[in-house]
């Protein structure tokens, strides 16, 4: 079956069985290689590739003795993290490209200037912007609006390369310097970014590392939001998801270079073939058990589910917890370190988590918390040794079993900087520059095994202005942009029970709107389990021969919902004529996403799928 324009059309094709072909020494298990050095953000590159669904990569350190020209030639695309190179390393990479390899690099060593067709110059300010050229096939479908840089870039002079993105002095003023270039070198191809793009994405999402552990916004308590003060975020860009667009530029670069060898499969952001997903959570605060019932019953009646973050276990019985957990609601903890709100430290915060984990286990059998929101969003910004670190809180949570953090939220009422996180209502957007959920990075670019899930629809922000319509419109704007404008976002709603007097009407309106758009409303833990299933799945044994792409999806984590595989619909003048899984012909949909058309098939996570994709002339 094929699917065009929301209609299924019969297609009678004899299924072509997947054949397992053993790799010889000339092939790598995965087509993408990431080469990383110390403090280079190389591991974070891998996390970003998973975010974009490229789960078919291998991560190696540059210092590994097996890295040589022969090893590099096994890969379709090599991604080089930022950092200096030895003469031998630069020679190996030069030979790789000259002999037909495809290289992407972030702020590469000037020893590779000839490979990229540039002459490296001086370091530029870290307050610049990047503007993607949408007139070329790499930038096609991406925003033409300038995007913030929070790190320095290098000034490049073109020496044969072509510009695919430009450096802007500010949001509106162009310069003569490229932000990204593409060059043909020998038989191969090379793309260079003049900044360390993954580092910039981490800063855009997580905030200004220089302000870690500091009170910046005048709101009592150190929070993650303090990291976005003093103009760090250009709030006029909130509705375009700046970090995500920069990440998609990288994705387009990978697809451009991999296409010289074969089309690559990817995974889609959302469960099934959805374009948006909503999660709902509730901070329990000091609320008594009986006071939760109406809100929970209202949410359940709409077919939605909600997470309750329990602060006081003495106020809620085990029977009540088990009743609602049995209905599919999540019960987790609401750690309270507000006694240290103005100066939280690692040892005390760690003790708070351990104590609450113990109380939840003893009272309810919950062990341990897996998703979390802290009381007052208190955020520890210092290591065990008291050194500022904007990711310290995430590291504490990881050590205590947390896998998803919901402490980044849109709340700036009463700040000495006004509404520094951006406007209200329909145009609120995401000040983190992202609607996607990605694991945290530490300051060196290593990945912390905790997802950063942004709470972008926060009741208290609107309750304190008595703005019910704004609360709903914030939700509607995020959902509509995700569905209709390709500003894809996971939408997280917080609705305190203690403020249900305010949020009842707009929340019910949100749930009705989600239902009308066929968007499910999940608990945070169900979403976490989906993310783990999607990111754990891998593409293996990828082969291209005689207009046929074959690969295996290996997946060990089950979920109630599907993960969706995407394959370029068009390749070398051909288009997909059939897709089979485990020898059975499959239905697929065709969807244009950010300027590229894909065929999408949904598969059940937790079991292997042998996929065969056949291309033919139109």
What's the pLDDT at 29? 86
DSSP 15: P
Among the candidates 267, 293, 308, a domain finishes at 267
Q: 113-127 pLDDT, tens per residue? A: 999 999 999 999 888
Mean pLDDT of 129-148: 96
Among the candidates 214, 246, 267, a domain finishes at 267
Residues 435 and 495 in one domain: yes
Residues 188 and 233 in one domain: yes
pTM score, whole prediction: 0.94
The answer as to whether 24 is a domain residue is no
Task: Give the CA count within 13 Å in the CB-facing half-sphere of 580.
Answer: 17
> Interior CA angle at 299 toward 490 and 406, to 5°?
35
The answer as to whether 27 is a domain residue is no
* Surface-to-core class of residue 254, CB atoms within 10 Å of its CB (0-12 exposed, 13-18 middle, 19+ buried): buried
Residues 251 and 289 in one domain: no
Residue 92 has pLDDT above 70, yes or no: yes
The answer as to whether 393 is a domain residue is yes
Mean pLDDT across the chain, nearest whole number?
Answer: 95
Residue 9 has pLDDT above 80, yes or no: no
Q: 503-521 pLDDT, tens per residue? A: 999 999 999 999 999 999 9
Residue 71 has pLDDT above 50, yes or no: yes
Q: How far is CA 249 from the centre of its chain?
A: 14
Residue 5 has pLDDT above 70, yes or no: no
DSSP of 526-589, one letter per residue? HHHHHHHHHHH-EEEEEEEETTEEEEEEE-----SS-EEEEEESEETTEEEEEEEETTEE---E
Mean pLDDT of 443-462: 98
Confidence class for position 288, pLDDT limits 50, 70, 90: very high
Asked whether 262 and 542 are in contact (CB, 8 A), the reply is: yes
Confidence class for position 489, pLDDT limits 50, 70, 90: very high
Specify the length of the chain in residues: 618
What's the pLDDT at 21? 32
Q: 364-422 pLDDT, tens per residue? A: 999 999 999 999 999 999 999 999 999 999 999 999 999 999 999 999 999 999 999 99
Q: 146-186 pLDDT, tens per residue? A: 999 999 999 999 999 999 999 999 999 999 999 999 999 99
The answer as to whether 337 is a domain residue is yes
Residues 366 and 493 in one domain: yes
In degrees and rounded to multiples of 5, residue 376 shows phi and psi of 65, 10
Question: Which residue matches tokens 């050229």?
Answer: 133
Domain coverage including residue 176 = 32-267
Q: Which of 381, 300, 290 is nearest to 344 (CA)?
A: 381
What is the biggest distance separating any 2 CA atoms in the chain, rounded to whole angstroms? 72
Q: 573-614 pLDDT, tens per residue? A: 999 999 999 999 999 999 999 999 999 999 999 999 999 999
Residues 322 and 436 in one domain: yes
Three-class DSSP category at 310: strand
DSSP 68: S
The pair of three-digit structure tokens given for residue 333, joined into one six-digit string:
């903890």
Residues 526 and 542 in one domain: no
The answer as to whether 272 is a domain residue is no
What's the pLDDT at 576? 98
What's the pLDDT at 388? 98
What's the pLDDT at 27? 60
Asked whether 27 and 70 are in contact (CB, 8 A), the reply is: no
* Percent of the chain residues past pLDDT 90, beyond the cut: 94
Q: 29-57 pLDDT, tens per residue? A: 899 999 999 999 999 999 999 999 999 99
Alpha-carbon gap, residue 577 to 257, rounded angstroms: 24
Asked whether 194 and 179 are in contact (CB, 8 A), the reply is: yes
Residue 317 has pLDDT above 50, yes or no: yes
The pair of three-digit structure tokens given for residue 174, joined into one six-digit string:
């162009």
Residue 67 has pLDDT above 90, yes or no: yes
Q: What is the CATH number of the domain that holds 86?
A: 3.40.50.880
Mean pLDDT of 68-87: 97
Alpha-carbon gap, residue 433 to 385, rounded angstroms: 31
Alpha-carbon gap, residue 313 to 380, rounded angstroms: 24
Residue 24 has pLDDT above 50, yes or no: no
What's the pLDDT at 586? 95
Q: Quick check: bond before 368 cis, omega within 30?
A: yes
What's the pLDDT at 126? 80
The answer as to whether 408 is a domain residue is yes
- 330-333 vs 307-310, strand pairing mode: parallel
Indicate the angle between helix axes 42-51 and 197-206, nearest 10 degrees. 70
What's the pLDDT at 28? 76
Residue 255 has pLDDT above 70, yes or no: yes
Residues 211 and 298 in one domain: no
Among the candidates 267, 287, 317, a domain finishes at 267
What's the pLDDT at 160? 98
Q: What is the CATH number of the domain that holds 482?
A: 3.20.20.370
Mean pLDDT of 209-235: 98
Alpha-carbon gap, residue 228 to 217, rounded angstroms: 9
* Percent of the chain residues past pLDDT 70, beyond the cut: 96
Residues 177 and 197 in one domain: yes
Strand ranges, E, within 321-469 = 330-333, 371-372, 404-405, 438-441, 447-452, 457-458
Residues 214 and 308 in one domain: no
Asked whether 588 and 2 are in contact (CB, 8 A), the reply is: yes
Strand ranges, E, within 12-74 = 32-36, 57-61
Residues 485 and 575 in one domain: no
Residues 154 and 181 in one domain: yes
The pair of three-digit structure tokens given for residue 443, joined into one six-digit string:
């300051």
Residue 23 has pLDDT above 90, yes or no: no
Q: What is the CATH number of the domain that holds 545?
A: 2.60.40
Total count of domains within the chain = 3
The answer as to whether 466 is a domain residue is yes
Mean pLDDT of 278-304: 97
Q: 534-554 pLDDT, tens per residue? A: 999 999 999 999 999 999 999
Residues 424 and 476 in one domain: yes
């Amino acid at each position: 079956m094929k699917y065009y324009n929301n209609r299924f059309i019969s297609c009678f094709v004899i299924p072509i069985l997947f054949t397992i072909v053993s790799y010889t020494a000339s092939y790598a298990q995965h087509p993408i290689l990431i080469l990383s050095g110390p403090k280079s953000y190389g591991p974070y590159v891998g996390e970003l590739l998973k975010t974009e669904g490229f789960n078919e990569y291998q991560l190696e350190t540059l210092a590994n003795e097996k890295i040589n020209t022969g090893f590099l030639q096994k890969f379709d695309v090599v991604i080089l993290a930022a950092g200096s190179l030895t003469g031998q390393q630069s020679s190996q990479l030069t030979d790789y490209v000259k002999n037909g390899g495809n290289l992407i690099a972030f702020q590469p060593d000037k020893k590779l200037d000839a490979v990229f067709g540039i002459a490296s110059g001086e370091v530029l300010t870290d307050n610049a912007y990047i503007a993607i050229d949408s007139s070329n096939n790499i930038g096609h479908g991406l925003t033409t609006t300038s995007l913030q840089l929070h790190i320095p870039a290098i000034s490049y002079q073109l020496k044969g390369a072509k510009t695919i993105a430009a450096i802007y002095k500010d949001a509106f003023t162009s310069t003569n310097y490229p932000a990204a270039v593409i060059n043909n070198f020998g038989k191969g191809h090379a793309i260079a970014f003049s900044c360390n793009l993954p580092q910039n994405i981490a800063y855009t999402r997580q905030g200004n590392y220089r302000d870690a552990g500091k009170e910046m916004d005048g709101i009592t308590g150190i929070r993650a939001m303090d990291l976005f003060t003093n103009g760090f975020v250009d709030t006029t860009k909130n509705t375009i998801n700046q970090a995500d667009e920069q990440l998609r530029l990288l994705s387009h670069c990978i697809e451009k270079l991999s296409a010289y060898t074969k089309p690559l499969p990817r995974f889609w952001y959302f469960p099934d073939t959805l374009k948006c997903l909503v999660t709902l959570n509730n901070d329990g605060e000091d609320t008594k058990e009986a006071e939760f019932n109406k809100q929970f019953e209202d949410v359940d009646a709409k077919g939605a589910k909600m997470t309750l973050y329990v602060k006081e276990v003495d106020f809620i019985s085990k029977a009540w917890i088990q009743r609602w957990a049995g209905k599919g609601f999540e019960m987790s903890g609401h750690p309270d370190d507000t006694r240290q709100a103005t100066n939280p430290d690692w040892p005390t915060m760690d003790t708070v988590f351990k104590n609450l984990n113990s109380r939840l286990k003893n009272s309810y059998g919950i062990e341990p918390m897996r998703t979390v929101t802290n009381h007052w969003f208190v955020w520890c910004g210092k290591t065990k040794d008291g050194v500022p670190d904007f990711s310290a809180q995430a590291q504490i949570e990881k050590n205590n079993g947390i896998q998803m953090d919901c402490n980044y939220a849109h709340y700036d009422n009463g700040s000495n900087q006004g509404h520094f996180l951006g406007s209200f209502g329909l145009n609120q957007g995401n000040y983190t520059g992202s609607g996607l959920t990605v694991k945290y990075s530490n300051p060196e670019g290593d990945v912390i095994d905790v997802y950063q899930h942004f709470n972008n629809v926060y009741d208290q922000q609107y309750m304190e202005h008595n703005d019910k319509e704004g609360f709903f419109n914030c939700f509607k704007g995020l959902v509509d942009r995700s569905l209709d404008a390709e500003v894809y976002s996971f939408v997280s709603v917080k609705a305190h029970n203690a403020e249900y007097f305010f949020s009842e009407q707009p929340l019910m309106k949100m749930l009705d709107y989600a239902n009308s758009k066929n968007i499910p409303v999940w608990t945070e833990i169900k979403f976490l389990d989906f993310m783990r299933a999607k990111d754990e799945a891998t593409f293996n044994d990828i082969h291209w021969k005689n207009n046929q792409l074959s690969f295996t999806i290996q997946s060990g984590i089950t979920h109630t919902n599907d993960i969706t595989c995407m394959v370029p619909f068009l390749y070398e003048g051909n288009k997909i004529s059939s897709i089979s899984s485990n020898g059975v012909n499959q239905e697929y949909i065709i969807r244009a996403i950010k300027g590229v058309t894909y065929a999408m098939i949904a598969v059940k996570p937790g079991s292997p799928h042998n996929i065969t994709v056949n291309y033919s002339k139109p």
